[in-house]
Structure 1
Amino acid sequence: MSPTHYRLSTRLARHLRSTGCRLPEHALAEQVLATQGLPKGSWASDLLKSLLDGRFERIETEVGLWEWKYDFPARDEAVVVLDLETTGLSPDNNEIIELAMIRLENGSRTTFERLVNPGTPIPAFISRLTGIRNQDVREAADIYTVLSEALPLLDNATLIIQNAGFDLGFLQPRLKRLGYRLDNPVVDTIHWARKALPGLSKRGLDALAWAFDLGPIAGRHRAMGDVETTLQVAREMYYMLTAGRPTPTSQLAFRAR
């Protein structure tokens, strides 16, 4: 499938969510695909069938969504979506300036968002990218204080991270200094995208947001804005990958080292 196909598939899913019930294939094709300027009739119905990925449940000639049958995450598991902003790309030479997390568990949602004082000036290009300035972090806590506060949210959770290797490269040595071994199962949404969206040539957060028709990312390059977007794309891909077979998120993860 092309990126445009993924966008059309997501619009089908969004329409079903808005109706809250299964729809006949021909009605879904006409209500959604025709509004995209595509012709009605059998051609639209054939295109519809090619767009029905793992998110969709088909019962005879009707189409629904698997998310109506099982939850992401499952009620008996916890997931934490996590993102960092940093002063640069090197875990050895640069520092964390912002940490954000959302923990989902038993239908509840807990958020954590902190600026971090890096103990060093923030480069001008990072301030332009993130909007985080030296004066914003001057009174903030250091990373070890922030991580100590965040640790309880990581307990027994599967982590979901966009480009996980980058964030883990910063987190693991700093957590180790606190005496904490980060061995949580980890989902990298880039890895999920390779399986769920093989037609994408780019799998960065902007590319995934475009493929899932999310529109402009609010708070892009701020930790919580990127966490919210990562959560949205992870949810779509979870149902694409499980395709009606409820699976703990931890079983779709690799383990941090």
Structure 2
Amino acid sequence: MEPVFRYRLATRLARKLRAQGHPLPLPALGEALGLRGPVEPVLKPLLDGRFFLAEGVGLWEWRYPFPHPGESLVFLDLETTGLAPGLHEVIELALVRLEGNRRVAFQSLVRPEHPPSPFIQRLTGIRAEELEGAPCLEEVLERAYPLLQGATLVLHNAPFDLGFLRPALEAMGWRLEGPVVDSIPLARRAMRGLKRYGLDALSQVLELPQRREHRALDDVERTLAVVYEVYYMLTSGSPRPLRDLGR
């Protein structure tokens, strides 16, 4: 079975179990996929680290939480006018901080010195006139920086965002002190054999809603959804902090 198809089917099993809220026997899960005949040879190979198999099939997320107790996570994403830090600029910053049962979201447009190209405006849906009244990057970071304190920072393709974020913080006399986890290597370890590990590709594999525009908060939510699945795939009943998985 192709890896993409296998992980899609496994995710449908997880979604079915979440909807039920309790373990189900293999035949009931087979019905959820529309399978006929013996289902065990088909379903058992789909049970990745998210699942436990006892009298029925259940989810490890029911037995231990995400994030790991005592670890705060900040999922962050930037939209920019291009790919080159120092040449291009940030036009949007968004983050979600998870700390126990507490969730804090932050999002802001950022006023660049030069307006984004028509291509970037089409890609993001952010119009140049919207940015004219937005705060500058320093103002946005003043509000966002406290939310980064004491947390593991989670980014999809971390070198890109850090290339913009670190110099901007250092120019203000601040540093990123906490661990940084890149969700791409985690996804590669959890879902081996895929051809692509970009956010759109992983969203398709995990059957997340399609996006029409690249916006920072939407990408944060997608990264969070991907990492949630990947976390349980990799911990497989042995919970530990995400920062340890990212090493």
State if a TM-score over 0.5 links the two structures. yes
Q: Give the share of equivalent positions with the same residue, in percent.
A: 51
Pairs within 5 Å for 1:1-257: 2-29=3-30, 31-34=31-34, 38=35, 40-42=36-38, 44-59=39-54, 61-217=55-211, 220-254=213-247
What amino acid does structure 2 have at the position aligned with 1:171?
L
Q: 3-state SS of the aligned residue for 1:230? A: helix
Q: Distance in 1 between matches of 2:86 and 2:180?
A: 22
Q: Distance in 2 between matches of 1:46 and 1:190?
A: 31
Q: 3-state SS of the aligned residue for 2:194? A: coil
What amino acid does structure 1 have at the position aligned with 2:42?
L
Q: Is the 8 A contact 1:57 1:65 kept in 2?
A: yes
What amino acid does structure 2 have at the position aligned with 1:118?
P
Q: Distance in 1 between matches of 2:33 and 2:45?
A: 12
Q: Is the 8 A contact 1:75 1:107 kept in 2?
A: no
Give the TM-score, by structure 1 length: 0.93
Q: Distance in 2 between matches of 1:104 and 1:208?
A: 22
* 1:120 Cα offset (Å): 0.8
Aligned residues: 246
* 1:183 Cα offset (Å): 3.1
* 1:26 Cα offset (Å): 2.1
Q: Distance in 1 between matches of 2:236 and 2:175?
A: 33
What amino acid does structure 1 have at the position aligned with 2:244?
Q
Q: Is the 8 A contact 2:125 2:213 kept in 1?
A: no
Runs of 4 or more above 6 Å deviation: none
Unpaired segments ≥5 residues, structure 2: none
Q: 3-state SS of the aligned residue for 1:192? A: helix
Deviations 1:23-71 (CA, angstroms, capped at 9, x unpaired): 1122212x2221xxx4x122x3211001000000111x41100000011
Q: 3-state SS of the aligned residue for 1:23? A: coil
What amino acid does structure 2 have at the position aligned with 1:8?
L
Give the TM-score, by structure 2 length: 0.96
Unpaired segments ≥5 residues, structure 1: none
- Two-structure CA RMSD over aligned residues (Å): 1.2
What amino acid does structure 2 have at the position aligned with 1:100?
A
Q: Distance in 1 between matches of 2:32 and 2:87?
A: 50
* 1:215 Cα offset (Å): 2.9
Q: Is the 8 A contact 2:74 2:152 kept in 1?
A: yes
Q: Is the 8 A contact 2:72 2:100 kept in 1?
A: yes
Q: Distance in 1 between matches of 2:229 and 2:115?
A: 38
